[in-house]
Amino acid sequence: MRAAVLERFGEPLVVREVVEPRPGGGEVLVEVLATCVLPYAAEVFSGQRRYPLEPPVVPGLGGVGRVLAAGPDATRLSTGDLVWCDATVRSRDDARTPDITLQGWSSRGEGGLRLSRHFHDGSFTERMVVPTENVAPLHEGVDPVGFSAVGVYLVPYGGLLAAGLKAGETLLVSGATGNFGSAAVATGLAMGAGAVVAAGRNRAVLQDLRERFGPRVRTVVLGGDAEADTAALRAAAGPVDVVLDLLPPAADAAVVRAAAMAVREYGRVVLMGGVGMLGGDDLALPYPWLMRNSVTVRGQWMYPRDAVTGVVALVRSGLLDLDHEQVTTFGLDRADEAVAHAAANGGPFTRTVLTPCRARDGDIGPAPAPASDTDPGRRVTAR
């Protein structure tokens, strides 16, 4: 079978024949139909992000596929089932504090690194092995290409679960103009937030979010003055119940602080971004303010296992509408082009998708007919 391999950091992906994996106990062999290429993939593959990924490796963060073979511990999966493959793999020998690896992408600590050496290769391939518990059945009406964007929505969904977001509450998204942040706006609305305060510096993107989702979205253009920004965020929609930060590593910790301090008394702040990962100032919050206002601050990396079924339910119900997605697809032979395209096109609801088993030898087939200029529905472009 063929796969796109990262031989060394800083080198292009090499599409070549690799040994087909064989599933063991507790594993499923899946044919990969579609996998989303994240905008910062080029930073991971160059080594800029300093992820504990060990080349040579087939990268890629999960996606949509079909079951080719399942082990005897799979009681409901059948060959041919359409499934979501979740990249968040947890060790099985410690239910309370499991080690975690993101298959084909990253890991946490020494235990996560050890786990990654078994579940090493990701989804930039024709076939991959996934832990049985990481395979979630989908109904046959699902479009694999469009649904592959679910991996982006799962991240903020995990943060909002950690925050205990309740219907009717006000959510503030710090970093709302980015790829994950804009998904957080849509996810918060789907979960019943009464209002979502979208904060960022890109005025045009903020206006687009307001036009897409209507008056429940309140936008705040940040000016860089911490006190003024905090005041503007507090004034945008009254008391803020939950703050979710999704800012990337290059962002200033002062921006996170301004958003966090907009939360009300007894409010919750969840940190999911990358601030400080590549150096720079750590987040500093005043001890007296935290204590006297009974504010809860917690970090959250990824999401619990049952988050997948939760997001799938939101999509099936229509509460989370994937028709906002504008998708460009690439065949496996053009994996490196897909990475470059994702880096140059990382705006809100703009996805780059690799289709390993739909584009063998460049045969992509006809792209779906584009929507009209006045139709906000999903557009798919094949490359």
pTM score, whole prediction:
0.92
Q: Classify the C-alpha dihedral 249-97-267-186 as positive or negative.
A: positive
Residues 27 and 347: beta-carbon distance below 8 Å: no
What residues in the chain have per-residue pLDDT under 70? Answer: 359-379
Topology of domain 2-149+325-382 in CATH is Quinone Oxidoreductase; Chain A, domain 1 (3.90.180)
Portions of the chain given CATH number 3.40.50.720? 153-299
Query: CATH says 153-299 is which class?
Result: alpha beta
Q: Which pLDDT value is given to residue 277?
A: 86
Strands (E), 6-91: 14-17, 27-37, 63-70, 82-85, 88-90
Q: DSSP letter string over 134-150?
A: GEEE--TT--HHHHTTH
Q: Which pLDDT value is given to residue 370?
A: 34
Length of the chain counted residue by residue: 383
Portions of the chain given CATH number 3.90.180.10? 2-149+325-382
Q: Which pLDDT value is given to residue 341?
A: 98
Residues 6 and 120: beta-carbon distance below 8 Å: no
Which among 179, 159, 206, 202 is positioned nearest to 43, based on CA atoms?
Answer: 179
Q: Which pLDDT value is given to residue 367?
A: 37
User: E strand or H helix at 291, and its extent?
Assistant: helix 287-292
Q: What are residue 30's DSSP bridge partners?
A: 67, 128
Q: Which pLDDT value is given to residue 382?
A: 73
Cis peptide before 56 (omega within 30 of 0): yes
Q: Which pLDDT value is given to residue 90?
A: 97
Q: Find where tokens 């897409």 sit.
A: 212
